[in-house]
Each structure stands twice: as structure tokens, then as C-alpha cells.
């Protein structure tokens, strides 16, 4: 007589739990690229169905027993172009270390570019072991996201190849127009890198 629902149990835990001790942390660049391809395609699927996630981060990517990623926690998601009344201008929603500059300043008309940025922030952390921006307080982290230039991943991890760094930094451009125009375009560039083709 009690309402309930069931969800699939994901045995592998979250990417956040495993990011420091998993194989990605020791420089498996192909593993990182493959994970990001699958994650970006899942995000693209959501975008095709009119949904912005707005809170992509390692703890919202669960891994199954085969280390396949599943994008979860759509608690801050909104419909593209239709639910503008849900977020008031000037309200910051999301996790400071992973949100785009336009999201950090409380922008109202957000596009798929915010999720592209978050994918780039996750990518950066997989390549370097740390988010692109991280300060002692959430407010200072937001200030860095908006104002500070990013350190190149290769300056932290010398194993990071130039093309992978280029892909990552394209996702993390301050200007949304300079990022990939879709999560699918990001996935395709990573697949080119995996095939040893020009990006």
C-alpha cells in the first residue's frame, strides 16, 4: 500500500570515488578518452531530448561493473528554452568547480555550452588529478571560474599530449561560443584522437 520505485544498482560507485586511485590517475590517456566519449554521447542524448544537466561532475557519473559510465542526478536539470522560470537571474546553481562562467554569474539563458564546459572540467580532472579551479571557499572558486586563466593540463601532468590538451581547453573556453557546439562534436574529436587522426 506504499508507493515506491526501483532503480538499477550501479556496482562500481562514482567516478569521484575512484578518480584518484583508478587507472586514469596513472596516465591511461586512451582510457580517459574512451570514458569521455561515452559520457559526452550520453549528455548529447539528453540535449537531443531538450534537457540540460547543469550539474555534471565526477560524483554524478556512476560506473558499472565493466567501468561503463552512466550519467546520473538530474536534480538541477532543466528543459532547454522552456523552463526559464525555474532559475531566476542572479541565482547560481551547480557545483562551483565544474560550472561554466556564464552559470557562475547566475546567467539565465543557458545553453548546451554549460554542459560542454562541465565535461571539460571532468576531463581536466581526469588528466591532472584536480579540477581546473578549486579554492578554499565556493565563492572564491566561482571568482576563479569567471576571472582566472586555466593552467594547461600538460603543466601538471607531462604525459598529456598536445591534441588532448587542445580538446580539453576548447571545452573550458570562457566564451561559450568558442567551445564545441555539441557534446557529440566533443566525442567525435576524442574519437579522432583515439584513431590517431587530426583533431
CA 169/CA 184 separation, integer angstroms: 16
CA distance 88 to 107: 9
> What residues are labeled active site?
55
Contact 161, 29 (CB under 8 A): yes
Maximum separation of any 2 CA atoms in the chain, in Å: 59
DSSP secondary structure letter of residue 152: P
DSSP result, 35-73:
HHHHHHHHHHHHHHTTEE-----GGGEEE-TT--EEE--
The b/e string for 82-109 (b: 16+ C-beta within 10 A; e otherwise) is eeeeebeeeeebbbbbbbbbbbbeebee
Distances, alpha carbon 135 to alpha carbons 26, 80, 138, 166, in Å:
24, 31, 7, 24
Amino acid at each position: 500500500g506504499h508507493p515506491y520505485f526501483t532503480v538499477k544498482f550501479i556496482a562500481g560507485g562514482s567516478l569521484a570515488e575512484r578518480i584518484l586511485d583508478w587507472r586514469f590517475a596513472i596516465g591511461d590517456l586512451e582510457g580517459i578518452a574512451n570514458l569521455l566519449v561515452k559520457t559526452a554521447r550520453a549528455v548529447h542524448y539528453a540535449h537531443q531530448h531538450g534537457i540540460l544537466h547543469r550539474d555534471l561532475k565526477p560524483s554524478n557519473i556512476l560506473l558499472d561493473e565493466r567501468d561503463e559510465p552512466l550519467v546520473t542526478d538530474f536534480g538541477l536539470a532543466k528543459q532547454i528554452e522552456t523552463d526559464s522560470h525555474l532559475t531566476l537571474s542572479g541565482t547560481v546553481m551547480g557545483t562551483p568547480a565544474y560550472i561554466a562562467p556564464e552559470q557562475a554569474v547566475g546567467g539565465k539563458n543557458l545553453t548546451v555550452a554549460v554542459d560542454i564546459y562541465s565535461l571539460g572540467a571532468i576531463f581536466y580532472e581526469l588528466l591532472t588529478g584536480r579540477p581546473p579551479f578549486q579554492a578554499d571557499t565556493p565563492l572564491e572558486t566561482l571568482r576563479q571560474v569567471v576571472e582566472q586563466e586555466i593552467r594547461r593540463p600538460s603543466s601538471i601532468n607531462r604525459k598529456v599530449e598536445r591534441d588532448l590538451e587542445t580538446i580539453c581547453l576548447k571545452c573550458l573556453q570562457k566564451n561559450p561560443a568558442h567551445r564545441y557546439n555539441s557534446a557529440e562534436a566533443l566525442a567525435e574529436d576524442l574519437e579522432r584522437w583515439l584513431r590517431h587522426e587530426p583533431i
